[in-house]
């Protein structure tokens, strides 16, 4: 009896372990699968759903999200691809309806200059400051070295 209980416990834990394995694969599996006539279109579909943001679950792209609206938009991307629309046309179709927000890579325009170029400007500023500080240091050191006269005087004092 005892061994049976032990065994069942063992089995339970094995089952639980296996269960967690499946859980992981369920979460990672794509939500829906579309058939594509050629691999190029499939690649474009994957790229587009990666580039487009889900408007409801805002930190996920369409490919990642399980929300109904993301599924709808994936369907729409698929439809538009099948209609022979270009990537640009599909992107602007989405922007016309959901705004610039659906683009994970924001457009370069007046409002987003600081977003695109801010980090580079800050980096340059930082480099500039470092160069400025480094250049100044040797000068400060020179000042602390003694002049020839002072050196002589120092030697004299040390001798005494």
Residue 134, SS3 per DSSP: helix
Rounded to an integer, what distance in angstroms lies between the CA atom of residue 29 and that of residue 39?
20
Candidates 7, 30, 72, 154; binder of another protein (CB under 8 A) is: 72
| Residue 24 found at the interface with another protein (CB under 8 A) | no
Nearer to another protein, 61 or 69 (CB): 69
Nearer to another protein, 56 or 153 (CB): 56
Rounded to an integer, what distance in angstroms lies between the CA atom of residue 31 and that of residue 62?
10
Interaction mask 83-122, another protein, x per CB under 8 A: ------------xxxxxxx---------------------
Q: Judge whether 65 and 77 are in contact, CB under 8 Å.
A: no
Nearer to another protein, 34 or 69 (CB): 69
Interaction mask 40-69, another protein, x per CB under 8 A: ---------------xx-x---------xx
- Nearest partner of 65 among 31, 99, 16, 29, judged by Cα: 31
Residue 154, SS3 per DSSP: helix
Q: Judge whether 49 and 63 are in contact, CB under 8 Å.
A: yes
Residues of the shown chain interacting with another protein in the complex, contacts defined by CB under 8 A: 55-56, 58, 68-69, 72-73, 76, 95-101
């Amino acid at each position: 009896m005892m061994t049976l209980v032990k065994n069942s416990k063992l089995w339970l834990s094995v089952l639980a372990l296996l269960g967690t394995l499946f859980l992981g694969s369920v979460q990672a599996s794509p939500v829906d699968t579309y058939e594509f006539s050629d691999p190029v279109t499939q690649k474009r579909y994957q790229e587009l759903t990666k580039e487009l943001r889900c408007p409801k679950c805002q930190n996920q792209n369409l490919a990642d999200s399980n929300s109904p609206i993301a599924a709808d938009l994936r369907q729409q991307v698929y439809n538009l691809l099948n209609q022979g629309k270009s990537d640009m046309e599909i992107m602007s179709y989405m922007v016309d309806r959901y705004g610039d927000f659906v683009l994970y890579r924001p457009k370069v325009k007046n409002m987003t200059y600081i977003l695109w170029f801010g980090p580079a400007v800050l980096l340059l500023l930082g480099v500039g400051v470092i160069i400025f500080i480094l250049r100044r240091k040797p000068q400060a050191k020179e000042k602390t070295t003694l002049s020839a006269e002072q050196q002589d005087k120092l030697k004299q004092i040390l001798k005494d």
